[in-house]
Amino acid sequence: MIFIDGLSPVFPDNKVYQDEIKDLGRKLFSSKINFQRMEKVYDNSGVKTRYLSENLSWYINEHNWSERNFLFKKKSLSLLKKSITETFEKTNTSPEKIGGIVFVNSTGLSTPSIDAEIFNLFNFKNEIVRLPIFGYGCAGGVLGLNRAVEIYKNLKKPILVCNVELCSLTFRPQIFNKENIVSSALFGDGSISYLIQGNGSCEILGAMEYTWKNSLELMGWGVEDDGLSVTFDKIIPEFIFKKLPQVLNSFPIDNLDGYILHSGGMKIIDAYKKIFKNNKTILESQEILSRFGNVSSVSVLLVLNQMIKKNYSGNFLMAALGPGFTAGLSNMRIIPHD
């Protein structure tokens, strides 16, 4: 049997409220566009609070790619050191016992990759297997987990999985298109770490990955002189509503007790509600969106962590979607605790 154990989320210190972000948007965008028409983006996002890597004043100014990536590396390592330490403490595991590191991210670049930096922060063995994963976006929360399971099956040693997403560092205040404004209303920063091993609070029963043909334009990054520019199509919620059920038919789960779904935004959550008949567990994803915003690959794991803390139990479908356009699915059994 294979389990998730020791889920440990860590966030930056800068907690902000949506009204503060809306005021920032008004300051940046109102002289260039009819901002009153866009205010509903903030009001209808489903986000009330979130955590950002920098103080709000940082986001007013333009920044080059070198500065953004320097901050990405520095802040990522700070967050991950805390979350990994908590994971080891919760699971009573020492770094020497770890057989592999899976690092998942889509919001910054580093070579050597961040997992190599992590290797030097703890007393891991030199023979450890490393797998850096870039570009899965929101789906990386599930697909990173699935890759770790595959490595565990081969090594039979605990696998450390680390997700970090500093979405806010990609924000470009001089860009006035709708995608940039929507991203300012939606995305937050954070990290999470956990182990895949032979015991724990949540058993992994199965997995699936599905990529749709000719769907590259739905979501991703453009590469600009000053950094990465966000791309996401307004048809994504409709695409999910129409296409995801066909994939789910190929991944049946017996005696399903609920859903662990990526909190991508209210329109996506509304699509989930239509697909899954307003199942009450979708409210957990809605709560995570409200408290943390969309934290890309971290978000679906925050939903899982919350459901474990609330002592859910039974068989669940975990799902997240991201660039490709790709769906990551996992069947898991949450074990009740005292």
Tell me how far apart the alpha carbons of residues 310 and 174 are, in angstroms, rounded to a whole number: 42
- In the predicted model, what is the mean pLDDT of residues 215-222? 83
Domain annotation for the chain: domains and CATH numbers: 3-197 (3.40.47.10), 202-334 (3.40.47.10)
35-43 helix and 178-186 helix, angle to the nearest 10 degrees? 30
pLDDT above 80 (res 253): yes
* Helix runs in 199-321, H state only: 236-248, 266-275, 282-292, 299-309
* 140-155 and 299-309 helices, crossing angle to 10°: 80
pLDDT tens per residue, range 258-270:
999 999 899 999 9
pLDDT at 65: 85
Q: What's the pLDDT tens digit per position in 149-161?
A: 999 999 999 999 9
Distance CA 169, CA 53 (A): 7
Average pLDDT over every residue of 237-247: 92
CA angle 158, 75, 6 (to 5 degrees): 25
Whole-number Å distance between alpha carbons of 132 and 307: 27
pLDDT band at 103 (very low <50, low <70, confident <90, very high): very high
Tell me: the pLDDT tens digits for 271-326? 999 999 999 999 999 999 999 999 999 999 999 999 999 999 999 999 999 998 99
The pLDDT of residue 31 is 66
pLDDT for position 228: 76
